[in-house]
Amino acid sequence: MMRAASLVRSGVVEVRDFPIPEPGPDQVLVKMHYASICGSDVHVIFDGFHTPEYLGRPGYPGHEGIGIVAASSYPQFPVGSPVLTVPFGQRGGCFAEYQAVDAAQTIALPAGSDVRRLLLAQQLGTTVFAMTRFLPPASTGARPALAAVIGAGSAGLFFLQLLRAQGIEVIISDLNRDRLKVAEQLGAAQTVLEPAESIIDSARAQTGGAGVELVIEAAGYDVTRAAAVDAVRQRGTVGFFGYPQVRGLAPFPVERSFRKELNMAWSNNTQAEPGLASFRTAIDLIQAGAIEVDHCLQSVYDLEDAPAAVAAARAYGNGAAKVGLVLPAATR
């Protein structure tokens, strides 16, 4: 038997005993060490985005996890080796002591890897993937001088670092002063504390009223998507990374987007990328020290405290960029 957190009904996560899963022929059994809570998990747990038939499944809906192979028929995943697990979001089981994960959604890590820090390669990988959609290839030479990022959670702070690595100055906004302090340390040119300040006003003030060339919306609210449209310049680009706020139709400033002739890109489904290339790039970036992740490791809860952890994630981490779980195997 094992312990696992599970979404038992909308808004309610409980930690229970479950049988250790039996891996299928295309799966690897992983003894989980660490997991983290994605913004999409918050929507699944609290906002009705769950898959009804998955209610009560062990570890659901966690999809950001890392651990050690416990059983495998694959030579690239020998027992005892560290792996990053990147299951599709609605099929995740990372909030558990053991997870049976598809081999195709598993990435082998070098022996001796710092699995606690490499856990963040899952979230970082999704932003690396998004950047391929939000920015033209470097070979074109078309790089904006100034961009805005809405939301300074883990994704927003990774976007900040990826943009700075391209030589692009960044204005970043958030509702929390502590997150913005981290953004300053990571090189933000300007931070904007909403709602007392406005990313729209800041973007216009920095550009003579024109708006910035690129806005990345990483907060996931209808009001922030509308703000992104207002903060970008004519014929600029808006990259939408944030999760939908509600199911079905949602309000969106279609006319303003039309009048401004905007380029708009959405990012999703990094787990389906051939070769899981962006996750592998993220692993390399973290190991090389090119991307800072330690600010995402400050707020951690034991598995038994998973209900409190998801509540903290819902409260924007109480100022932390990321909320994580420590599984029992990591402390033994």
- pLDDT tens profile 203-257: 999 999 999 999 999 999 999 999 999 999 999 999 999 899 999 999 999 999 9
Provide the H-helix boundaries in 76-219: 115-118, 121-134, 154-165, 177-185, 199-205
Could you tell me the pTM of the whole model? 0.96
pLDDT digits (tens, 9 = 90+) for 97-153: 999 999 999 999 998 899 999 999 999 999 999 999 999 776 666 789 999 999 999
State the average pLDDT over residues 157-183.
Answer: 97
Confidence check: pLDDT of 22 > 80 = yes
pLDDT digits (tens, 9 = 90+) for 47-57: 999 999 999 99
Average pLDDT, the chain: 95
The pLDDT of residue 91 is 86
Cα separation, 332 vs 326, in Å, equals 11
Phi, psi (deg, nearest 5) at residue 328: -55, -35
* Share of residues in the chain with pLDDT > 90 (%): 94
The secondary structure of 204-227 as a DSSP string is HHTTTTS-EEEEEE-S--HHHHHH
DSSP bridge pairs for 263: 237
Nearest Cα neighbor of 102 from 118, 116, 91, 113 is 91
Q: Are 131 and 158 in contact (CB under 8 A)?
A: no
Q: Are 257 and 235 in contact (CB under 8 A)?
A: no
Domains of the chain (ranges, CATH numbers): 2-120+297-331 (3.90.180.10), 127-266 (3.40.50.720)
Tokens of 82: 């560290």
State the average pLDDT over residues 34-58.
Answer: 95
